[in-house]
Amino acid sequence: MAEVLKIHPADNVLVALRDFRAGETVADGEGAIPLLEDIPTKHKLAERDFHAGETIVMYGVTVGKTLRPVPRGTRISTENTVHASSEYSVGERSAAWDAPDTAAFTGRTFNGYHRGDGKVGTRNYWLVIPLVFCENRNIDVIQSAMLEKLGYVTERAFSVDVDALIAKYRSGSTPEEIMETSVLRLGTDLRQNRVFPNVDGIKFLTHQGGCGGIRQDSETLCRLLAGYLNNSNVAGGTVLSLGCQNAQVSLLQEALERQSPAGFSKPLYILEQQRSTSERAFIAEAIKATFTGLMEANRCERQPAGLEHLTLGLECGGSDGFSGISANPALGYTSDLLVALGAKTLLSEFPELNGVEQELVNRCLTDEGANKFAGLMRSYSQRAEEVGSAFSMNPSPGNIRDGLITDAMKSAGAAKKGGTSPVVDVLDYTEPATRPGLNLLCTPGNDVESTTGLAGSGANLIVFTTGLGTPTGNPIAPTVKMASNTALATKMDDLIDINAGTIISGEDSLRTKGEELLELLIRVANGEQLTQAERLGQDDFIPWKRGVSL
CA 97 from chain centre, in angstroms, equals 25
Q: How many CB atoms lie within 10 A of CB 478?
A: 25
Q: How confident is the model at residue 298 (pLDDT cuts 50, 70, 90)?
A: very high
Q: What pLDDT does residue 255 have? A: 97
Q: How confident is the model at residue 161 (pLDDT cuts 50, 70, 90)?
A: confident
**Cα gap 372→367, rounded to integer Å:** 8
Instruction: Please give the DSSP secondary-structure letter assigned to residue 539.
Output: -
Supply the pTM of this predicted model: 0.94
Terminal alpha carbon distance of the chain: 57
Q: pLDDT, tens digit, for every residue of 39-67?
A: 999 999 999 999 999 999 999 999 999 99
Q: What pLDDT does residue 95 have? A: 76
Q: What pLDDT does residue 548 have? A: 52
Q: How confident is the model at residue 17 (pLDDT cuts 50, 70, 90)?
A: very high
Q: How many CB atoms lie within 10 A of CB 88?
A: 19
**Cα gap 296→154, rounded to integer Å:** 23
- CA distances (Å), 351 to each of 87, 96, 376, in order? 15, 26, 11
Q: What pLDDT does residue 272 have? A: 97
The helix/strand/coil state of 59 is coil
- What CATH number belongs to 1-82? 2.30.130.110
Q: pLDDT, tens digit, for every residue of 301-347?
A: 999 999 999 999 999 999 999 999 999 999 999 999 999 999 999 99
Q: pLDDT, tens digit, for every residue of 446-499?
A: 999 999 999 999 999 999 999 999 999 999 999 999 999 999 999 999 999 999
Residue-range domain boundaries for the chain: 1-82, 129-152+194-301, 306-535
Q: Which residues contact 489 (CB under 8 A, 6 or more apart)?
A: 483, 496, 498, 499, 501
Neighbour-count burial for 517-537, b at 16+ CB within 10 Å, e otherwise: bbebbbebbebeebbbbbbbe
**Cα gap 233→384, rounded to integer Å:** 34
Q: How many CB atoms lie within 10 A of CB 191?
A: 13
Q: What is the DSSP string of 23-74?
A: T-EEE-SSSEEE-SS-B-TT-EEESS-B-TTPEEEETTEEEEEESS-B-TTS
Nearest 5°: CA angle at 249, between 244 and 253? Answer: 165
CA 540 from chain centre, in angstroms, equals 11
Q: Where are the alpha helices (DSSP H) in 325-481?
A: 327-340, 357-363, 367-386, 397-401, 407-414, 447-456
Q: What pLDDT does residue 550 have? A: 42
Q: pLDDT, tens digit, for every residue of 468-478?
A: 999 999 999 99
What is the pLDDT averaged over residues 396-408? 90
The helix/strand/coil state of 493 is coil
Q: pLDDT, tens digit, for every residue of 216-242?
A: 999 999 999 999 999 999 999 999 999
Q: What pLDDT does residue 249 have? A: 97
Q: Is the Cβ–Cβ distance between 119 and 197 less than 8 Å?
A: no
Q: pLDDT, tens digit, for every residue of 76-93?
A: 999 999 999 999 999 888
